Amino acid sequence: MTLLRIDDPAAPARPGGLQGQPLFALGFRPFYLLGAAFAGVAVPAWTASWLGWSGAPQLTLAWHMHEMLFGFVIAIVVGFLFTAGRNWTGLWTPRGGHLAALAALWLAGRAGMAFLPPAAAAALDVIFLPLAARPLYRVIRRAGNTRNLVMVALLAVLAAANAVFHAAVLGWLPVSPVQPLYAAIVAVIVIESVLGGRVIPSFTANALRGVRTVTSPRLEKLSLALTVATGLAWALLPLSLPLAVLAAATAVVQGLRMAGWKPLATLGTPLLWILHVSYAWIPLGFLMLALACVGLAPHSAAVHLLTVGAMGGLIIGMITRTALGHTGRMLKAGRAETAMYLLLQAGVLARLVAALGAGSLYQAGLVAASICWSLAFALYCITYGPCLLRARVDGREG
């Protein structure tokens, strides 16, 4: 279970230049801050455009889906993996000028997607993931930490999905731009499933005296196989009965898996319950997908349980937890963190109401979800921005 610990190893004195600037000392710092700020701005901007409240026709549904995945989520994933990779290997992932350049490239991609013609936007956007994955691959291979090469492989899958999306938008491939986005959603869910299965049970057992979590290697493998199979079917096939069967099986196995993590024991500990509650949206999302396949629920409800619920919730849970640890602070959620978590979950419920409703109910749910989401990430920026911009309080590097 030590595989995913990302406490910093001992390091020499802080260097000078950009490498000595706290913001560029380790990957989580710029990417958590940029990702959270972007999430807080992009969602209300799209909501206003979607409801006809602003003159921004370029902020289409495809833009919204792409930017939540390849803008917001990817920023957090890359920041986390750069930080985790440092501890998996004992070697430095990008920092200083290299990290600053990658952050600038990510920012350029966001600006390009909002303001540039599709071809120019694609040229900026598609190069980020390969350039971010390469240094992670190099340190993992150099350290012989081959088990974690799966994370590089998943980044490669995401990079391919992004390229297919842009090719579809430009008319170079005869596919819907939405299909590679579904593939990307499932690739992120696989990352969440792998990392969640490693860290959530161990975090729970380590933090709660007397609580023994249970994990089953067979159930772990089965849940991963079913998640991948369901994802491929979802990305490549129309909604159908076979997909419903796969999605329902995935929901059951994922639910059985997390039951062994003792989620009810964490209800008094916000830093833990946010991870359990957010992960629970994965089996619930697949169950909703199964219902959508047989016409008993809207497809968008399944999409948003898996994205707003699982991705958004796990992200805000992990970017608070890891930022506390990596800035030398105690792993304890205060009022600000609890408020973020509650706002995020309220946003999930509001988005579900919007998906299930129509007319004024849809609009009210969408606006409420947008407000809750944006407030959660704005609060993160206000609370954690000063920490991410300053050196660790314990004097260590990173």
Is 10 part of a structural domain of the chain? no
Looking at the structure, tell me whether residues 169 and 182 fall in a common domain: no
Is 327 part of a structural domain of the chain? yes
Looking at the structure, tell me whether residues 144 and 289 fall in a common domain: no
Residues 339 and 393: their CA atoms lie apart, in Å, by: 24
Which of 174, 208, 225 is the last residue in one of the domains? 174
Q: pLDDT tens digits for the chain (398 residues)?
A: 334 444 444 444 445 556 679 999 999 999 999 999 999 999 999 999 999 998 788 899 999 999 999 999 999 999 999 999 998 999 999 999 999 999 999 999 999 999 999 999 999 999 999 999 999 999 999 999 888 999 999 999 999 999 999 999 999 999 899 999 999 999 999 999 999 999 999 999 999 988 999 999 999 999 999 999 998 899 888 899 999 999 999 999 999 999 999 999 999 999 999 999 999 999 999 999 999 999 999 999 999 999 999 999 999 999 999 999 999 999 999 999 999 999 999 999 999 999 998 889 999 999 999 999 999 999 999 999 999 999 999 888 88
Per the structure, the complete domain to which residue 227 belongs is given by 176-392
Is 3 part of a structural domain of the chain? no
Q: How many CB atoms lie within 10 A of CB 297?
A: 17
pLDDT of residue 259: 94
pLDDT of residue 368: 97
pLDDT of residue 13: 44
Looking at the structure, tell me whether residues 155 and 133 fall in a common domain: yes
- The structural domain count of the chain equals 2
Looking at the structure, tell me whether residues 29 and 71 fall in a common domain: yes
Is 5 part of a structural domain of the chain? no
Is 61 part of a structural domain of the chain? yes
Residues 152 and 140: their CA atoms lie apart, in Å, by: 9
Looking at the structure, tell me whether residues 170 and 187 fall in a common domain: no
Which of 119, 148, 174 is the last residue in one of the domains? 174
Is 4 part of a structural domain of the chain? no
Is 17 part of a structural domain of the chain? no
DSSP secondary structure code for residue 3 in this structure? G
Which of 114, 147, 174 is the last residue in one of the domains? 174
Looking at the structure, tell me whether residues 151 and 193 fall in a common domain: no
Q: What is the CATH number of the domain that holds 349?
A: 1.20.210.10
Is 11 part of a structural domain of the chain? no
Looking at the structure, tell me whether residues 166 and 190 fall in a common domain: no
Looking at the structure, tell me whether residues 262 and 329 fall in a common domain: yes
